[in-house]
Structure 1
Amino acid sequence: MKALLTGGAGFIGGNLARELVALGYEVVALGRRACPVAGVKSIEAARLDPETLRRAMSAEHFDFVFHLAAAGVHPADRNREELIRVNATLPAEVVSAARDAGVSSVVLMGSSAEYAGPQTGLLTEDMLLESGKIYGASKAAGGLLALATAAECGLPVAVLRAFNVFGPGEAEHRLLPSLVANLTRGEAVSLSLGTQIRDFVYVDDACNGLIAAATALSGSRMRSGAYNLSTGIGVSVADFARTVARRMNADDGLLRFGALPLRPDDLPEVVGDPSSLQSAAMWRANCSLEEGVTEALRRIGLD
């Protein structure tokens, strides 16, 4: 089996490439930077655009396409034109190119930011989508256009709206690496109150969900659509931080809750209902928060 992967140099993409290689897939990563995973063939392109996608897909036959490339992953990156081009427009081009290249199925990485807030209870795929924030709105638009293109051309496609994925390989500004860096040095960690409830998904579980969706789509066991890549379990940011400190045997007094203000747009609760993906792809998150943090720290080298 052969898979084309965009975003393979990123956090989830790199972990997905590693998992695919371990399962025996041939993996070709297309992106601006080379995928660092051994055994992956990298095609570097200065810009991901329709022509580049079609050229890569026509060069060899792929069974699956995993489209994880996105703009605006870093909160400071809010260039409107690039967000619209990469997040809103490009996914439909990926689907169209995959159909023309004879790909069996396409899985696109969506985001929990696609849901408008605040909404109470578990978020289901039919809830109101974001229209007031450019990142979430651009991701939502991209997913909708990709699914409409899939329906038009008859290609099985799934958009997996990932919630708070964590694990080895995260960017330095994110919660887990920030905690690890400071606690390793015995330094205080400035945090918000930590009352925000989030749905933390260990990255290996997320990758297994992506692969399960691609397989179920190509086997006609799963319908095209948007699905939550989530656990359904809400955990406070404070409890996540305390779990990391405990597993590192660090002094939790270094966790300075309330030292940072809550962001004005920080929603009090974002937890996804995973039941649709569970029933369609026979997938569920296997790692508890404790297990995920423990495994992440082991792979970072802090066991």
Structure 2
Amino acid sequence: MTAPQPRALVLGGTGYLGHRLCAELTAAGWSVVAVGRRSVPVTAARLLVADLAGANISDVLAEAQPSLVVNAAGGVWQLSDQEVVESNAVLVDRLVAALGKHPRPMRLIQLGSAKEYGSGPAGMAIAEDAVARPGSVYGRSKLSATRAVLAATRRGQVDGVVLRLPTTIGPGSPHVSLLGMVSSALAAAVRESRPAVLRLFRLTAHQDFLAVDDLARGVLAAAQTREAVGRIINLGYGEAIPVRSLVETLVAVSGWPTEILDDAPPSGTDRLEWQQLDISTAAELLGWTPRQQLRDALTEVWAAVNPQCGAGSADCRPTHSK
């Protein structure tokens, strides 16, 4: 007799990260339900429309009947401090309470944030046991969510895993993110056949990053690894990558003449001047290491906003010189 198909519920499943997670789980044989606020096409999952801010999460769980819940919901940009707390910390409190009503613990994978750590000492990788010193409301709200998941796991209410993620790189990057702004500005310059001018804040930081494809692999591994339960696990490249070089590589991928001016005022106080993650726990527990090269991930970012050009296509060469 064949085993029943495992069921996964992805909260935020229609979003930038969630839709890629749905695709990975579906490809691995899971029956996936994606929860989103709006009715949008979801090719790799069944869609359940619900606004988690006001929905009865127990009803959502009863509808989906999952054995795995992945929380890819939450907010960071263009929200008030209270909205950030509600969409990250309060949501997870409600989720944990709903999961705790089930007769046996359910696997919960919480997508945490490297911003829970705050900036690290230059030249040193940050391991999961480092003291968390978040420098923003967002970082504090994600830390609160992490603590809620781990506390519920210790109580036996859930089988919780927290994956701590740096800034992710992949197609569909939010337009208000750094890569979203840069790729959109480059695409606009291509459409208008003019050189691009990027006016950015000071690009002096060194930060870790994570390709979305590698994130999806990490979630699948955490879903299948018993030893991950009750743990915080860093995912990333395991490198402190100069942010300026990230922007320059995206420009190079586009093949478009571009001037970079990094004299704009910073967009907020949540600045990580140095952050490198120790990803050895992911290798030991999950058998996970990053596979996608940084340039390949940035090529996917560019192709998503400018598909007719690809990476430096001859069809997109400027009609005039800078």
Q: TM-score, normalised by structure 1?
A: 0.88
Give distance in 2, aligned partners of 1:38 and 1:223. 30
Letter in 2 for 1:85: E
Paired residues of 1:164 and 1:201 also in contact (CA < 8 A): yes
1:243 pairs, out of 243, 249, 262, with 249
- Displacement of 1:265 after TM fit? 4.2
Structure 2 residue aligned with 1:68: 72
What is the aligned-residue RMSD (CA, Å)? 2.2
Match runs of 1:207-246 below 5 Å: 207-216=216-225, 220-246=226-252
What is the DSSP-based 3-state SS (H/G/I as helix, E as strand, rest coil) of the residue aligned with 1:296?
helix
1:42 pairs, out of 42, 47, 54, with 47
Structure 1 residue aligned with 2:315: none
Q: Deviations over 1:6-32 (max 9, x none)?
A: 011221112212222333321112232
Instruction: Give the direction of change, closer, same or farther, for the CA distance of 1:3–1:103 in structure 2 (3 Å limit).
Output: farther
Paired residues of 1:84 and 1:138 also in contact (CA < 8 A): yes
- Displacement of 1:47 after TM fit? 3.7
2:153 pairs, out of 150, 154, 173, with 150
Give distance in 2, aligned partners of 1:46 and 1:270. 34
Give distance in 2, aligned partners of 1:119 and 1:92. 32
Q: Deviations over 1:153-173 (max 9, x none)?
A: 253211111101011111111
Paired residues of 1:106 and 1:157 also in contact (CA < 8 A): yes
> Gapped runs of 5+ residues in structure 1?
none
Give distance in 2, aligned partners of 1:90 and 1:130. 22
> Gapped runs of 5+ residues in structure 2?
1-5, 190-194, 311-322
Match runs of 1:158-237 below 5 Å: 158-184=161-187, 185=189, 186-216=195-225, 220-237=226-243
Q: Deviations over 1:176-220 (max 9, x none)?
A: 22222222313211122311111121111111111111111xxx2
Give distance in 1, aligned partners of 2:57 and 2:156. 17
- Displacement of 1:251 after TM fit? 1.9
Establish whether residue 84 from structure 1 lines up as the match of residue 98 from structure 2: no
Paired residues of 2:204 and 2:243 also in contact (CA < 8 A): yes
Give distance in 2, aligned partners of 1:11 and 1:213. 20
- Displacement of 1:140 after TM fit? 0.2
Give distance in 1, aligned partners of 2:251 and 2:135. 36
Establish whether residue 110 from structure 1 lines up as the match of residue 103 from structure 2: no
Establish whether residue 128 from structure 1 lines up as the match of residue 131 from structure 2: yes
Q: Determine what percentage of the aligned residue pairs are the same residue.
A: 26
Give distance in 2, aligned partners of 1:180 and 1:60. 36
1:288 pairs, out of 290, 293, 298, with 293
Letter in 1 for 2:86: R
What is the DSSP-based 3-state SS (H/G/I as helix, E as strand, rest coil) of the residue aligned with 2:196?
coil
Match runs of 1:270-281 below 5 Å: 270-281=275-286
- Displacement of 1:264 after TM fit? 4.7
Is 273-282 or 293-302 further displaced after alignment?
A: 293-302
- Displacement of 1:4 after TM fit? 0.3
Structure 1 residue aligned with 2:7: 2
1:266 pairs, out of 265, 271, 275, with 271
What is the DSSP-based 3-state SS (H/G/I as helix, E as strand, rest coil) of the residue aligned with 1:156?
strand
Q: Deviations over 1:97-127 (max 9, x none)?
A: 3354446411001111111335442111112
Give distance in 1, aligned partners of 2:105 and 2:157. 11
Give distance in 2, aligned partners of 1:98 and 1:132. 30
Give distance in 2, aligned partners of 1:28 and 1:156. 19
Give distance in 2, aligned partners of 1:79 and 1:8. 24
Paired residues of 1:167 and 1:176 also in contact (CA < 8 A): no
Give distance in 1, aligned partners of 2:275 and 2:160. 25
Q: Deviations over 1:74-97 (max 9, x none)?
A: 1x31332x3333322332432343
Letter in 1 for 2:63: A
Instruction: Give the direction of change, closer, same or farther, for the CA distance of 1:181–1:86 in structure 2 (3 Å limit).
Output: closer
Give distance in 1, aligned partners of 2:44 and 2:273. 42
Instruction: Give the direction of change, closer, same or farther, for the CA distance of 1:116–1:246 in structure 2 (3 Å limit).
Output: closer
Letter in 2 for 1:213: A
Instruction: Give the direction of change, closer, same or farther, for the CA distance of 1:77–1:60 in structure 2 (3 Å limit).
Output: closer
| The structure with more radius of gyration | 2
